Amino acid sequence: MSQPSAPRKTPGRPARISRQDIIETGRRIVTEEGVDRLTMRRLAKDIGSTPMALYHHVRDKEELLVLLLDDYAARTMRRPELPADPRERVVVAAAAIHGALADCPWIVEVLTADDLMSTSALWFVEQIVDGLVECGLTPEQAVHGYRAIWYYTAGEIVIRTAAARRRAADERPTYREQVFGELDPDEYPRLAQVADRWAPLTSQDTFLVQLRALVDGLLIPR
Protein backbone atom coordinates (compact mmCIF):
# COMPACT_ATOMS: atom_id res chain seq x y z
CA MET A 1 0.00 0.00 0.00
CA SER A 2 1.52 3.32 -1.04
CA GLN A 3 2.23 5.84 1.63
CA PRO A 4 0.44 9.20 1.35
CA SER A 5 2.73 11.82 -0.05
CA ALA A 6 3.99 14.44 2.34
CA PRO A 7 2.27 17.82 2.02
CA ARG A 8 4.13 20.22 -0.22
CA LYS A 9 5.87 23.04 1.57
CA THR A 10 5.12 26.47 0.29
CA PRO A 11 7.77 29.14 0.56
CA GLY A 12 7.22 31.34 3.57
CA ARG A 13 6.32 34.94 2.99
CA PRO A 14 8.88 37.57 3.88
CA ALA A 15 8.41 39.02 7.34
CA ARG A 16 6.09 42.00 7.49
CA ILE A 17 8.03 45.21 7.67
CA SER A 18 7.14 48.71 8.72
CA ARG A 19 8.43 52.10 7.70
CA GLN A 20 10.10 52.34 11.11
CA ASP A 21 11.98 49.07 10.40
CA ILE A 22 13.20 50.63 7.17
CA ILE A 23 14.30 53.86 8.85
CA GLU A 24 16.15 52.11 11.69
CA THR A 25 17.96 49.70 9.38
CA GLY A 26 18.82 52.45 6.90
CA ARG A 27 20.14 54.62 9.72
CA ARG A 28 22.40 51.82 10.90
CA ILE A 29 23.84 51.23 7.43
CA VAL A 30 24.67 54.88 6.70
CA THR A 31 26.04 55.46 10.21
CA GLU A 32 28.31 52.43 10.18
CA GLU A 33 29.25 52.21 6.50
CA GLY A 34 28.32 55.44 4.72
CA VAL A 35 25.67 56.65 2.31
CA ASP A 36 27.20 54.87 -0.69
CA ARG A 37 26.54 51.47 0.89
CA LEU A 38 22.83 52.15 1.27
CA THR A 39 20.91 50.51 -1.56
CA MET A 40 17.40 49.12 -1.70
CA ARG A 41 18.82 45.63 -2.25
CA ARG A 42 21.18 45.91 0.73
CA LEU A 43 18.42 47.36 2.89
CA ALA A 44 16.05 44.51 1.99
CA LYS A 45 18.72 41.93 2.77
CA ASP A 46 19.43 43.39 6.21
CA ILE A 47 15.75 43.60 7.05
CA GLY A 48 15.10 40.06 5.84
CA SER A 49 12.69 41.04 3.12
CA THR A 50 12.71 41.74 -0.63
CA PRO A 51 13.35 44.97 -2.53
CA MET A 52 9.81 44.76 -3.92
CA ALA A 53 8.38 44.77 -0.39
CA LEU A 54 10.29 47.97 0.39
CA TYR A 55 8.65 49.79 -2.50
CA HIS A 56 5.32 49.57 -0.69
CA HIS A 57 6.83 51.97 1.87
CA VAL A 58 9.44 54.05 0.00
CA ARG A 59 9.63 54.91 -3.68
CA ASP A 60 13.42 54.85 -4.06
CA LYS A 61 16.71 55.62 -2.35
CA GLU A 62 16.10 59.36 -2.61
CA GLU A 63 12.85 59.14 -0.67
CA LEU A 64 14.57 56.86 1.84
CA LEU A 65 17.28 59.45 2.44
CA VAL A 66 14.64 62.13 2.99
CA LEU A 67 12.98 59.88 5.57
CA LEU A 68 16.33 59.44 7.31
CA LEU A 69 16.93 63.20 7.30
CA ASP A 70 13.49 63.90 8.78
CA ASP A 71 13.98 61.16 11.36
CA TYR A 72 17.33 62.59 12.45
CA ALA A 73 15.99 66.15 12.60
CA ALA A 74 13.00 65.06 14.69
CA ARG A 75 15.19 63.11 17.13
CA THR A 76 18.14 65.47 17.58
CA MET A 77 17.54 69.00 16.29
CA ARG A 78 16.11 70.79 19.29
CA ARG A 79 14.94 74.33 18.72
CA PRO A 80 17.04 76.61 20.93
CA GLU A 81 15.68 79.56 22.80
CA LEU A 82 16.39 82.50 20.54
CA PRO A 83 17.57 85.92 21.75
CA ALA A 84 15.73 89.07 20.80
CA ASP A 85 18.70 90.57 18.95
CA PRO A 86 18.42 89.45 15.29
CA ARG A 87 22.18 89.20 14.80
CA GLU A 88 22.43 86.87 17.79
CA ARG A 89 19.45 84.87 16.52
CA VAL A 90 21.37 84.16 13.33
CA VAL A 91 24.41 83.00 15.30
CA VAL A 92 22.41 80.83 17.72
CA ALA A 93 20.40 79.17 14.94
CA ALA A 94 23.52 78.47 12.85
CA ALA A 95 25.37 77.13 15.90
CA ALA A 96 22.43 74.82 16.62
CA ILE A 97 22.65 73.41 13.08
CA HIS A 98 26.38 72.84 13.53
CA GLY A 99 25.89 71.18 16.89
CA ALA A 100 23.24 68.82 15.53
CA LEU A 101 25.25 67.78 12.47
CA ALA A 102 28.79 67.67 13.86
CA ASP A 103 28.43 64.11 15.14
CA CYS A 104 26.64 62.85 12.02
CA PRO A 105 28.76 63.75 8.98
CA TRP A 106 26.85 61.44 6.63
CA ILE A 107 23.93 63.88 6.84
CA VAL A 108 26.19 66.73 5.73
CA GLU A 109 27.26 64.58 2.79
CA VAL A 110 23.61 64.17 1.77
CA LEU A 111 22.66 67.80 2.34
CA THR A 112 25.61 69.21 0.41
CA ALA A 113 24.27 67.53 -2.72
CA ASP A 114 21.90 70.54 -2.57
CA ASP A 115 18.77 68.74 -3.76
CA LEU A 116 17.63 66.83 -0.66
CA MET A 117 16.60 68.39 2.61
CA SER A 118 14.62 67.81 5.76
CA THR A 119 11.48 69.89 6.02
CA SER A 120 11.74 69.44 9.80
CA ALA A 121 14.92 71.53 9.75
CA LEU A 122 13.46 74.46 7.82
CA TRP A 123 12.72 76.25 11.08
CA PHE A 124 16.45 76.86 11.53
CA VAL A 125 16.80 78.20 8.01
CA GLU A 126 13.82 80.48 8.59
CA GLN A 127 15.42 81.95 11.72
CA ILE A 128 18.69 82.69 9.93
CA VAL A 129 17.06 84.31 6.90
CA ASP A 130 14.60 86.26 9.06
CA GLY A 131 17.38 87.46 11.36
CA LEU A 132 19.45 88.68 8.41
CA VAL A 133 16.45 90.54 6.99
CA GLU A 134 15.78 92.20 10.36
CA CYS A 135 19.42 93.28 10.38
CA GLY A 136 18.82 95.21 7.17
CA LEU A 137 19.47 92.78 4.31
CA THR A 138 16.98 92.32 1.51
CA PRO A 139 15.36 88.86 1.31
CA GLU A 140 17.61 88.09 -1.65
CA GLN A 141 20.73 89.14 0.25
CA ALA A 142 19.55 87.13 3.26
CA VAL A 143 19.33 83.99 1.12
CA HIS A 144 22.88 84.59 -0.10
CA GLY A 145 23.93 85.16 3.49
CA TYR A 146 22.35 81.92 4.60
CA ARG A 147 24.15 80.12 1.79
CA ALA A 148 27.50 81.50 2.96
CA ILE A 149 26.76 80.43 6.56
CA TRP A 150 25.71 76.95 5.41
CA TYR A 151 28.78 76.51 3.22
CA TYR A 152 31.02 77.48 6.12
CA THR A 153 29.16 75.20 8.55
CA ALA A 154 29.11 72.18 6.25
CA GLY A 155 32.70 72.70 5.12
CA GLU A 156 33.97 72.92 8.69
CA ILE A 157 32.29 69.61 9.56
CA VAL A 158 33.46 67.80 6.42
CA ILE A 159 37.08 68.95 6.74
CA ARG A 160 37.28 68.27 10.47
CA THR A 161 35.77 64.80 10.05
CA ALA A 162 38.13 63.91 7.20
CA ALA A 163 41.15 65.10 9.19
CA ALA A 164 40.11 63.10 12.26
CA ARG A 165 39.63 59.99 10.10
CA ARG A 166 43.06 60.48 8.57
CA ARG A 167 44.75 60.86 11.94
CA ALA A 168 42.98 57.81 13.34
CA ALA A 169 43.99 55.65 10.37
CA ASP A 170 47.65 56.67 10.21
CA GLU A 171 49.81 58.16 12.95
CA ARG A 172 52.63 59.05 10.58
CA PRO A 173 53.22 62.75 9.80
CA THR A 174 50.99 63.96 7.00
CA TYR A 175 52.43 65.17 3.73
CA ARG A 176 51.50 68.73 4.71
CA GLU A 177 53.39 68.40 7.99
CA GLN A 178 56.45 67.22 6.10
CA VAL A 179 56.23 70.14 3.66
CA PHE A 180 55.70 72.68 6.46
CA GLY A 181 58.67 71.26 8.29
CA GLU A 182 60.91 72.17 5.36
CA LEU A 183 59.54 75.60 4.43
CA ASP A 184 62.02 78.18 3.20
CA PRO A 185 61.57 81.20 5.53
CA ASP A 186 62.84 83.53 2.80
CA GLU A 187 60.11 82.46 0.39
CA TYR A 188 57.32 81.84 2.93
CA PRO A 189 58.17 84.01 5.96
CA ARG A 190 54.71 84.08 7.52
CA LEU A 191 54.04 80.38 7.07
CA ALA A 192 57.50 79.49 8.39
CA GLN A 193 56.77 81.59 11.47
CA VAL A 194 53.87 79.31 12.47
CA ALA A 195 54.87 76.11 10.68
CA ASP A 196 55.61 74.12 13.83
CA ARG A 197 52.23 75.16 15.29
CA TRP A 198 50.14 74.84 12.15
CA ALA A 199 48.54 71.47 13.02
CA PRO A 200 47.45 72.38 16.59
CA LEU A 201 46.31 75.83 15.49
CA THR A 202 44.17 74.54 12.64
CA SER A 203 42.69 71.79 14.82
CA GLN A 204 41.36 74.23 17.44
CA ASP A 205 37.59 74.61 17.61
CA THR A 206 37.05 78.20 16.52
CA PHE A 207 33.72 77.63 14.77
CA LEU A 208 31.69 80.04 16.88
CA VAL A 209 34.31 82.80 16.72
CA GLN A 210 34.55 82.55 12.94
CA LEU A 211 30.78 82.27 12.60
CA ARG A 212 30.35 85.58 14.39
CA ALA A 213 32.98 87.14 12.15
CA LEU A 214 31.19 85.81 9.07
CA VAL A 215 27.83 87.17 10.20
CA ASP A 216 29.40 90.56 11.00
CA GLY A 217 30.90 90.62 7.52
CA LEU A 218 27.58 89.79 5.88
CA LEU A 219 25.95 92.74 7.64
CA ILE A 220 28.49 95.39 6.58
CA PRO A 221 26.61 97.93 4.39
CA ARG A 222 27.48 97.51 0.73
Q: What is the pLDDT of residues 2-57, one digit of tens each?
A: 444 444 444 445 557 888 899 999 999 988 888 888 989 999 999 988 888 888 88
Report which listed range, 19-23, 93-97, 115-119, is most confident.
Answer: 93-97
- What mean pLDDT is predicted for residues 169-198? 88
DSSP H or E stretch at residue 17: none
Position 183 in a domain: yes
Q: Looking at residue 8, what is its pLDDT?
A: 47
In this structure, is residue 103 part of a structural domain?
A: yes
Q: According to the model, what pLDDT value does residue 60 have? A: 87
Residue 69 lies in a domain: no
d(CA 114, CA 69): 13
Averaged confidence pLDDT in the chain: 86
Residue of 156, 147, 108 lying closest to 125 (CA atoms): 147
Looking at residue 194, its pLDDT comes to: 94
Please give the pLDDT value at position 7: 44
What 8-state DSSP symbol labels residue 114? S
> Does 161 map to a domain?
yes
pLDDT value, residue 6: 44
Domain residues for the domain of 150 are 80-219
Is residue 151 in some structural domain?
yes
In the predicted structure, residue 106 carries a pLDDT above the cut 80: yes
pLDDT-derived band of residue 203, with 50, 70 and 90 as boundaries?
A: confident
114 sits in the region (left: phi over 0; alpha: psi -120 to 50; else beta) called left
Q: What percent of the chain has pLDDT over 70?
A: 90
Asked if residues 163 and 203 have their Cβ atoms less than 8 Å apart, the reply is yes
pTM for this prediction = 0.78
The one-letter amino acid code at 104 reads C
Euclidean distance between the first and final Cα of the chain, in Å?
101
SS (H, E, C) 154-216: HHHHHHHHHHHHHHHHCCCCCHHHHHHCCCCCCCCHHHHHHHHHHHHHHHCCCHHHHHHHHHH
- Higher model confidence: residue 168 or residue 122? 122
What is the chain's Cα-based Rg?
Answer: 25
CA proximity to 92, closest of 100, 102, 103, 80: 80
C-beta of residue 146 within 8 angstroms of C-beta of residue 101? no
Predicted pLDDT of residue 115? 67
The total of structural domains in the chain comes to 1
Q: Which residue has the higher pLDDT, 121 or 140?
A: 140
For residue 26, being part of any structural domain is answered with no
Whether residue 23 lies inside any domain: the answer is no
CATH number for the domain that contains residue 87: 1.10.357.10
* pLDDT at 137 (0 to 100): 97
Q: Is there a domain that residue 134 lies in?
A: yes
DSSP string, 26-73: HHHHHHHH-GGG--HHHHHHHHTS-HHHHTTT-SSHHHHHHHHHHHHH
Q: Which DSSP symbol is given to 15? A: P
